């Protein structure tokens, strides 16, 4: 019986593991990525976006809406023209959710593309959750927010007052309204740099160029992003690792309440691919997931982590319920052998003051997780294979 | 925890519910630019629904184990009330037709929708009191702990809790995390905003607008580590000022003198029931914790002492003969902080309230 169970388990794991590694995407070389006709040459690949479940936020309604969230499929294609790279992301969404300027509790659909800061190494890539110490990322964000205003009213305080306080009527009031409307920023597009969750900082000095669009149809969203291959933040060549995230406003999605992909390899056509990186991102890790599960139990992972969705939640370590979906094998291996290699500043530690998941020693975050570097290589391989199998079903 | 902590004490025995504080705050900060629905200061009738509606049931704060509790983000229409406005323009055409003059949305809810309703049976045992509320500038703020972007901070120099609008991305976890629902989402700029304890006024020697305008003189402002300050004496020396819902675990820094004075109940014939009091002490215990019993005892004893002997420092404090007796804003301290941080030190615009631990001068009589 036990043997049969193991076989079934490993079969199940093998079946889902086949979905694990994403295919590499080819960024087709075109004359000009800004030419809409160029997309006819694009080669779409399907990637999977997993619900972010590493940490749970404190929004009760949103947590109810996203409990048992499923993974989503997205169609992704890329183009490049030697100067710029363009991405197109298509995903199904039944509702077009726009954050209105008149509501306290609605949220927009949106999408983001994360690029690794200048790196040629196949591993370790930056931590998928907005990078990690010394491994920066650049994140391009586009939200379907129709109108937002600058907090300081573009330093034009006179236009912050209400229309009835202007003391004018008729044409003068209409002029006032028109001027106020013209001060709105109608494109919620932002570029950020980050070295870990919570460090994300908007680039506001114009040094990061980008152009993102989102178009809705009954099938869902079609989003594009164009950015330079090289700027002060990244130098994209050969093989470009990217990660895609989408938000669903109807599920109160924002910030970590999203679906995101693992790092996906994009090969720039006409350039030499980074074979090591492609292999890293497109191949499933070796190892016996069933044995890995046993090893994870024996080593007490679930003492601090919610490992599977059925395990109790923990404030100590991040939940691992979708870690197989969005993490690379290299990151998982690194975190087992050297838990302090990536310790995100994380959710404010004061939110759970009695379960500190890191201490600061000599100015560095030192994880409170046990160092598992004593495990033999095979066991680590097995645990990594098991962790890679942890992910939600596709909806 | 910040180096020093500014605090406010509100004497609920003296609040007359006139909303002058509310209007002072609104005209100073929140009548424009997406803040129209916000009341950084509001005065609600207790018992009542409060603002936003049933805020005490919307979660946030910490449990006994110190874990941040999930909360609910209130809805503008249902829980805050859309601030309605009128089409004044329709009255300007020469044809003063009242049929054309109407609010831009049909009013369905707003702060103080249930003002002065209270509870109980009139005239036998009905009662209510006013509960003015601002941000508590907590020592352990729920909003700050909830923010995944480090956009909320507590000022080192005086413990004022502020939102960094550059970092804020409008996620609104802060609103869920604040058990008092005293941080708001500004939908026009898509960022959170809150009471700033009028820090630009305080730095220049002026009390917060709500406190300075208060006609009942119920609000005292000063530093908790200044033993000469009114707030120190009320909170630490006499222990008659207590935090609101301290059980939420955020360590609030706005303190309340519980309402001790309430009329007696009437019997069925309309006669006074001697020795009865309309305001149930259980309600006060719910708001201010078990320490409320000792606070009431002290207040009653000092009141009696004052009647008998004519002397009571506590009663003199609470009477607040002079406006300058209510605020110790320690201007030299702020000047020093400005200097250390290479900010522009600004001369105080009013010298009446600038005394403090590090400011010997000031205060006129």
Could you read off the pLDDT of A358-387 as tens digits, one per residue?
A: 999 998 999 999 999 999 999 999 999 999
Q: Confirm whether A24-148+185-282 and A289-388 share one CATH topology.
A: no
Q: Chain A to chain B, count of Cβ pairs less than 8 Å apart?
A: 135
Instruction: Check CB contact under 8 Å for A256 and B148.
Output: yes
Distance (Å, whole) CA A328 – CA A331: 5
With a threshold of 0.80, does the pTM exceed it? yes
* Contact across the interface for B34 and A165, Cβ inside 8 Å: no
Asked whether the beta carbons of residue A105 and residue B172 sit closer than 8 angstroms, the reply is yes
Q: A172: nearest CA in chain B?
A: B89
Among B35, B60, B140, B169, which would you mutate to test the A interface (most chain A Cβ atoms within 10 Å of its Cβ)? B169
User: How does residue A1 score in pLDDT terms, banded at 50, 70 and 90?
Assistant: very low
List beta partners, residue B7: B222
pLDDT at position A344: 82
A120 — pLDDT class (breaks 50, 70, 90): low
- Mean of all residue pLDDT scores within chain A: 90
Nearest by CB to B145, from A105, A254, A351: name it. Answer: A351
Query: Which of A159, A194, A348, A355 is the best substitution to test chain B (most B C-beta atoms within 10 A)?
Result: A348
Contacts of A60 in chain B (CB under 8 A): 59, 70-72, 176
Mean pLDDT over B285-294 rounds to 98
A148 touches B: beta carbon within 8 Å: yes
Q: Does residue A18 surpass a pLDDT of 70?
A: no
Residue B52 CB-half CA count within 13 A: 29
Distance from CA of B37 to the nearest CA of A (A): 10
Q: Do B146 and A60 touch (CB under 8 A)?
A: no
DSSP states of A338-376 as a string?
Answer: -TTSS----S-GGGBTTS-SEEEETTEEEE-SPP-TTS-
Best of A54, A351, A353 to substitute, by most chain B Cβ atoms within 10 angstroms, is A351
Distance from CA of B66 to the nearest CA of A (A): 6
pLDDT at A2 over 60: no
Of B31, B166, B173, the CB nearest to A57: B173
* pLDDT band with cut points at 50, 70 and 90 for residue B163: very high
Residue (of A81, A80, A71, A70) closest to A46 by Cα position: A71
pLDDT number for residue A156: 82
Cβ distance A229 to A209 under 8 Å?
Answer: no
pLDDT band at A19 (very low <50, low <70, confident <90, very high): very low
Q: Which residue in the set B37, B66, B173 is minimally distant from A58, CB to CB?
A: B173
Q: At what angle do helices B292-309 and B281-288 cross, to 10 degrees?
A: 120
CA distance B60 to B143: 9
Identify all chain B residues contacting A188, using CB atoms and an 8 Å cutoff: 190
The answer to whether the Cβ–Cβ distance between B187 and A103 falls below 8 Å is yes
Binary contact (B59, A60; C-beta < 8 A): yes
For residue B37, list chain A residues with Cβ-Cβ distance below 8 A: 104
Q: Hey, which CATH number is domain A289-388, 1.10.4080.10, 1.10.10.10, 1.20.1090.10, 1.10.760.10?
A: 1.10.760.10
ipTM of this complex prediction, to 2 decimal places: 0.92
Q: Domains plus CATH for chain B?
A: 6-83+110-340 (3.30.70.20)
Q: A326-335, B12-21, B83-92: which range is least confident on average? A: B83-92
Among the partner residues B74, B144, B148, nearest to A198 by beta-carbon distance: B148
Tens-digit pLDDT profile for residues B94-117: 666 667 888 989 999 999 999 999
Q: Is A198 left (phi over 0), alpha (psi -120 to 50) or beta?
A: left
> Which alpha helices (H) appear in A151-200, and where do they start and end?
170-182
DSSP 3-state of B247: helix
**Confidence tier at B347 by pLDDT (50, 70, 90):** confident
Q: What pLDDT, on a 0 to 100 scale, did the predictor assign at position A14?
A: 40
Using CA atoms, how far apart are residues A213 and A235, in angstroms rounded to an integer? 23
Partners of A351 on chain B (C-beta within 8 Å) are: 67-68, 145-146, 177
A59 in contact with chain B, both atoms CB, cutoff 8 A: yes
Residue A243 has pLDDT above 90, yes or no: yes
User: CB of B170 within 8 A of CB of A107?
Assistant: no
Which residues in chain A are closer than 8 Å to B73, comparing Cβ atoms?
59, 61, 104-105
CB B144 within 8 A of CB B238: no
Residue A135 near residue A119, CB atoms below 8 Å: yes
**Spatial contact of A80 and A269, defined as CB atoms under 8 Å apart:** yes
pLDDT at A5: 42
Residue A3 has pLDDT above 50, yes or no: no
Contact A105 B185 (CB under 8 A): yes
Residue ranges of domains in chain A: 24-148+185-282, 289-388
pLDDT digits 0-9 by tens, B243-262:
999 999 999 999 999 999 89
Are the beta carbons of B36 and A162 separated by less than 8 Å?
Answer: yes
- Whether residue A60 lies within 8 A of chain B, CB to CB, comes out as yes
Which fold would CATH assign to domain A24-148+185-282?
Immunoglobulin-like (2.60.40)
């Amino acid at each position: 019986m036990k043997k049969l169970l193991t076989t079934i388990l490993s079969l199940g794991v093998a079946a889902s593991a086949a979905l694990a590694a994403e295919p590499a995407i080819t960024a087709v070389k075109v004359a000009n990525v800004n030419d809409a006709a160029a997309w006819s040459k694009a080669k779409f690949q399907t990637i999977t976006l997993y619900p972010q479940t590493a940490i749970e936020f404190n929004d009760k309604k949103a947590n109810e809406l996203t409990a048992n969230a499923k993974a989503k499929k997205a169609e992704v294609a890329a183009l490049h023209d030697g100067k710029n790279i363009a991405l197109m992301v298509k995903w199904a969404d039944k509702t077009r959710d726009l954050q209105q300027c008149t509501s306290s509790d609605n949220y927009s659909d949106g999408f983001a593309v994360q690029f690794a800061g200048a790196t040629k190494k196949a591993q370790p890539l930056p931590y998928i959750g907005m990078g990690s110490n010394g491994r920066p990322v650049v994140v391009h964000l586009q939200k379907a927010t129709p109108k937002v205003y600058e907090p300081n009213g573009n330093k034009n305080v006179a236009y912050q007052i209400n229309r009835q306080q202007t003391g004018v009527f008729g044409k003068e009031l209409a002029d006032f309204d028109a001027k106020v409307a013209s001060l709105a920023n109608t494109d919620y597009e932002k570029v950020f740099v980050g070295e870990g969750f919570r460090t994300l900082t908007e680039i506001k000095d114009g040094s990061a160029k980008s152009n993102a669009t989102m178009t809705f149809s009954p099938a869902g969203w079609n989003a594009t992003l164009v950015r330079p291959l090289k700027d002060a933040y990244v130098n994209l060549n050969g093989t470009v690792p990217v990660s895609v995230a989408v938000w669903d406003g109807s599920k109160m999605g924002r910030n970590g309440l999203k679906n995101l992909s693992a790092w996906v390899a994009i090969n720039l056509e006409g350039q030499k691919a980074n074979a090591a990186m492609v292999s890293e991102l497109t191949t499933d890790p070796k190892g016996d997931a069933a044995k890995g599960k046993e090893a994870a139990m024996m080593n007490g992972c679930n003492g601090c982590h919610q490992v599977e969705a059925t395990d109790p939640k923990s404030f100590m370590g991040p939940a691992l319920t979708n870690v197989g979906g969005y993490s690379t094998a290299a990151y998982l291996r690194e975190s087992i052998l050297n838990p302090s290699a990536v310790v995100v500043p994380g959710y404010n530690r004061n939110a759970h003051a009695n379960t500190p998941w890191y201490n600061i020693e000599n100015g560095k975050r030192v994880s409170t997780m046990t160092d598992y570097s004593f495990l033999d290589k095979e066991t680590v391989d097995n645990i990594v294979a098991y962790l890679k199998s942890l992910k939600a079903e596709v909806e | 925890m910040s180096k020093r902590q500014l605090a406010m004490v509100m004497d609920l025995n003296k609040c007359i519910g006139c909303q002058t504080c509310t209007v002072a705050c609104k005209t100073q900060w929140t009548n424009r630019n997406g803040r129209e629905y916000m009341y950084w200061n509001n005065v609600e009738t207790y018992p009542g629904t409060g603002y936003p509606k049933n805020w005490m049931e919307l979660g946030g704060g910490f449990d006994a184990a110190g874990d941040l509790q999930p909360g609910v983000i209130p809805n503008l229409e249902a829980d805050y009330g859309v601030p309605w406005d009128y089409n004044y323009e329709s009255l300007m055409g020469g044809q003063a037709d009242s049929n054309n003059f109407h609010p831009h949305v049909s009013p369905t809810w707003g702060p103080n929708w249930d003002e002065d309703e209270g509870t109980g049976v009139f005239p036998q045992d009905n009662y209510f009191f006013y509960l003015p509320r601002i941000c508590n500038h907590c020592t352990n703020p729920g909003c700050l702990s909830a923010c995944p972007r480090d956009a909320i901070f507590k000022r080192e120099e005086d413990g004022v809790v502020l939102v960094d609008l550059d970092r804020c991305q409008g996620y609104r976890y802060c609103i869920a995390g604040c058990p008092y629902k005293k941080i708001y989402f500004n939908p026009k700029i898509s960022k959170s905003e809150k009471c700033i304890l009028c820090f630009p006024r305080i730095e220049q020697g002026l009390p917060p607008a709500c406190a300075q305008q208060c006609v009942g003189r119920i609000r005292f402002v000063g530093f908790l580590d200044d033993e000469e300050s009114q707030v120190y004496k009320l909170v630490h020396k006499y222990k008659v000022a207590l935090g609101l819902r301290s059980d939420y675990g955020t360590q609030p820094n706005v303190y309340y003198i519980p309402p001790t004075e309430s009329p007696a109940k009437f019997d069925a014939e309309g006669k006074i029931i001697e020795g009865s009091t309309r305001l149930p002490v259980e309600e006060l215990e719910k708001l201010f914790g078990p320490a409320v019993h000792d606070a009431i005892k002290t207040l009653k004893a000092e009141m009696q002492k004052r009647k008998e002997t004519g002397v009571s420092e506590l009663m003199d404090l609470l009477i607040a003969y002079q406006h300058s007796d209510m605020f110790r804003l320690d201007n030299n301290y702020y000047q020093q902080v400005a200097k250390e941080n290479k900010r522009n030190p600004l001369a105080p615009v009013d010298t009446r309230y600038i005394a403090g631990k590090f400011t010997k001068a000031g205060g006129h009589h």
